[in-house]
Amino acid sequence: MVDPLIASTKLSSAGLEAQSARLRVISENVANAQSTGRAPGSDPYARKTITFKAELDRTLGASSVSVKEVGRDETPFPTEYDPGNPAADENGMVKKPNVNMLIEMADMREANRSYQANLQMMKQVRAMISATIDLMRG
């Protein structure tokens, strides 16, 4: 059995890792918000999604968090009339990525807040550990 406070820092770091993976997926989506296909009529960039799962860490004796899977958003692609585009089909329609900026921004904010909360826990645990060590200083 690991010391509960050490286990706590491990859980928080798992949380930080999960949230930063989420932020990476969000920035990937935002960066590719205008990425169309190359060949005429081809599919553009499809929005990625991320899900987490709780798993029991037997050495820690607590449920940790990890990334379950990075999926693909199956929402249909919006089309736009742009005949000059290399990805335009015979009617001049181009498929645009199904990325909604508003959703990505809201998601980013939430990931940010969760990251901060995990960081806050880590700081607090560190303060508790040093307070315990300080007992030896007398």
Partner 1 sequence: MQLYHDGLESTVTSPVYLFDLASRQANWLAARQTTISGNIANANTPGYRAKDVEPFVDILDKTKLTMAATDSGHIGFDASRPESMKVKKADTWDTVYSKNSVSMEQELLKAGEVDRQHSLNTSIVKAFHRMLMSTVRTS
Q: Among residue numbers 37 through 96, which ones bind partner 1 (CB under 8 A)?
A: 51-54, 60-65
Burial of 88 (0-12, 13-18, 19+ CB in 10 A): buried
Stretch in the footprint of partner 1 (CB under 8 A) among 30-38, 41-49, 72-80, 105-113: 105-113
**Is residue 106 involved in binding partner 1 (CB under 8 A)?**
no
Which amino acid, 31?
A
Size (the chain), residues = 138
Q: Compute the least distance from the CB of residue 24 to partner 1, in Å.
A: 15
Query: From the list 1, 74, 84, 91, which residue makes contact with partner 1 (rule: CB under 8 A)?
Result: 1
- Sequence-distant contacts of 98-105: CB under 8 A, at least 24 apart: 98/46, 98/47, 98/73, 99/29, 99/30, 99/32, 99/33, 99/45, 99/47, 101/30, 101/33, 104/26, 104/29, 104/30, 104/33
Q: Among residue numbers 13 through 32, which ones bind partner 1 (CB under 8 A)?
A: 14-15, 18-19, 22
Could you list the residues that contact partner 1 (CB under 8 A)? 1, 3-5, 7-9, 11-12, 14-15, 18-19, 22, 51-54, 60-65, 110-111, 113-114, 117-118, 120-121, 124-125, 127-128, 131-132, 134-135, 138
